[in-house]
Amino acid sequence: MSSIWIIVAFILGFLIVFQIAKASEYVAILHGEEKTRRDSNRVNGFMLLIFLVAGLFGVWYCNHALKDRILGEAASNHGEKVDTMLYITLAITAVVFVITQIALFWFAYKYQEKEGRKAFYYPHNNKLELIWTVIPAITLTVLIGFGLYYWYAITGEAPKNAQIVEVTGSQFKWEFRYPGADGQLGKKYYREISANNPLGQIWTDPANHDDVVGSQEMHLVVNKPVKLIIGSKDVIHDVGLVHFRMKMDAVPGQPTTMWFTPKFTTREMKQKYGDDFEYEISCDQMCGRGHFSMRGTVVVESQAEFNIWLKKQKSQYATVMEAEKGAPAAPAADSAKNKTTALNAVPVKSIQ
């Protein structure tokens, strides 16, 4: 029933607009088409000035009212540099925008059609073309240069003391792997992926025996560099860390990396922005029907809190042992001490 009323309303609206147009046409004939057009031009010119003032005020107001609510303060060291580049770009484009919009609307008003006025034909000017080509080219080259500089800093070699976290995307979730007591991530192979081995870790590699695997919640240490090793198990995803201003594709079979240093713990951000605040990791690349749900949480905490959290986690290898042998699983911090015993206890396939 509601669809029928919508169709009826649409038809009635069309008829009303049609009748107004016909009435305007008859009025124009009565008053003379030339005079009507000149009057219409004056009204349109005046309205353009009003639109210019209202539009510029609207742009300023939206920026003033919403800039802090959309992104908030950058929560990483690289994020500060990204914000600086953004503000410089916005400042340059804002100046160009204001100048061009004022010129556009003012010229439309000042040089509107008037009796006795003829249009001036101005087909070519080498100097003007050189100016509006060279200046934008130089400006864009400088901006791109700064962008490349920061890009190579973000994707370059992380500090030696950096925390290591492996991030793996799949439809439609994130999985995270942390090195255990040995500080190394073990090797993995996609053919080893199974229900008990979601990342395809190679159990014959002792470095895998204390690696911790988690899902949907990534733990980072505040004021400590973190290097993310990013991959995908199916299609292309994209690690989006909006609060840290970081973004990197997750490509199947081609690991990518980036690093940054978190500045604020989750607790500190809750104090600034409210108890509902959470650092978010999202997929910023359309990856299928469930793309909208591919979100996770990032917990930034102190080194002591992270150590306590890590000590409570079971290594994935210990979980496999518990599932296959029924033996109690050792914590990740202790499993590194029993690599040789564990290796002989569980028969596993190798990459060969």
The interaxial angle of helices 33-70 and 2-31, nearest 10 deg, is: 140
State the Cα–Cα distance between residues 140 and 85, nearest whole angstrom: 12
Give residue 349's pLDDT band: very low, low, confident or very high (50, 70, 90).
Answer: very low
Residue-averaged pLDDT of the chain: 84
What separation in angstroms does the CA of 2 have from each of 7, 8, 14, 265?
A: 9, 10, 18, 51
Residues 6+ apart with CB under 8 A from 291: 172, 283
Tokens of 186: 């073990």
Give residue 339's pLDDT band: very low, low, confident or very high (50, 70, 90).
Answer: very low
Whether 242 contacts 72, CB under 8 Å: no
Whether 218 contacts 298, CB under 8 Å: yes
Q: Is 263 helix (H, G, I), strand (E, B) or coil?
A: coil
Which pLDDT value is given to residue 70?
A: 67
The secondary structure element, H or E, covering residue 178 is strand 173-178
Residue type, 266: T
Domain ranges of the chain: 163-345
Quick one: average pLDDT of 238-265?
Answer: 94
Q: Check: pTM over 0.85? Answer yes or no.
A: no
Interval 85-112: pLDDT, tens: 988 998 999 899 999 989 988 888 888 7
**Percent of the chain whose predicted confidence (pLDDT) is above 90:** 43
Which pLDDT value is given to residue 278?
A: 92
Whether 164 contacts 154, CB under 8 Å: no
Interval 294-337: pLDDT, tens: 999 999 999 999 999 999 998 888 888 887 776 454 455 444 44
Which pLDDT value is given to residue 247?
A: 93
- Topology of the domain comprising 163-345: Immunoglobulin-like (2.60.40)
Chain centre distance of CA 208: 32
State the Cα–Cα distance between residues 160 and 222, nearest whole angstrom: 16
- Is the model's pLDDT at 338 over the cut of 50? no
Interval 162-212: pLDDT, tens: 999 999 999 999 999 999 888 899 999 989 998 889 999 999 999 999 999
Count other Cβ atoms within 10 Å, centred on residue 271.
Answer: 12
State the Cα–Cα distance between residues 158 and 164, nearest whole angstrom: 10
What separation in angstroms does the CA of 235 have from each of 170, 291, 312?
A: 7, 11, 32
Count other Cβ atoms within 10 Å, centred on residue 18.
Answer: 10
**164 phi and psi angles, rounded to 5 deg:** -110, 125
327: which DSSP letter? P
- HSE (side-chain half, CA atoms, 13 Å) at 30: 6
